[in-house]
Amino acid sequence: MADWGPVFVAVMLFILLTPGLLIQIPGHTKVVEFGNFQTSGVSILVHSVIYFALMCIFLLAVGIHIINCISEEMADWGPVLIGVVLFVLLQPGLLFQLPGNSKQLEFGSMRTNGKAIAVHTLIFFALYAILVLAVHIHIYTG
């Protein structure tokens, strides 16, 4: 039985913590900037640490699940680690941005836009759902 809880949490956190959409820590000119649609390596690192912490809280400590029954007693780190890796790799502007600001595809621009965040969120959702629900990648600890 598929557990959609980790997918929902991971996708929502991906959207909310994408640097430059709502907030960027650190910003380019201030410690915290809001809605500037820019990013940097440092802000992706900071946002990734926050993403990791929130994924641990929601998936391991709180145990958010969206299934009919819960039978697992061990902590599953697979969804957390997959989410963090995809969060970093799919940040618009870090490795690539689709669509870009001036071209359809841009590499390493460290900028983003609303359309790119939406496209990258869809890519994140698809890859995360495939790896967690279809491929069943799990890392259990007791």
Give the helix/strand (H/E) hosting 22: none
Q: Among 122, 126, 90, which residue's Cα sits nearest to residue 18?
A: 90
pLDDT computed for residue 85 by the predictor: 95
Largest CA distance in the chain: 50
Phi-psi region of 119 (alpha: psi -120 to 50; beta: other; left: phi over 0): alpha
Amino acid occupying residue 64 = I
pLDDT computed for residue 70 by the predictor: 46
pLDDT computed for residue 139 by the predictor: 74
CB 97 within 8 A of CB 109: yes
pLDDT computed for residue 73 by the predictor: 60
Number of neighbours of residue 39 by Cβ within 10 angstroms:
25
pLDDT computed for residue 52 by the predictor: 95
Residue 81 buriedness (CB in 10 A; 0-12 / 13-18 / 19+): middle
Q: pLDDT digit of tens for each residue in the chain (142 aa)? A: 677 888 889 999 999 999 999 999 999 999 999 999 999 999 999 999 999 999 999 988 887 766 655 455 667 788 889 999 999 999 999 999 999 999 999 999 999 999 999 999 999 999 999 998 888 887 776 5
CB 124 within 8 A of CB 14: yes
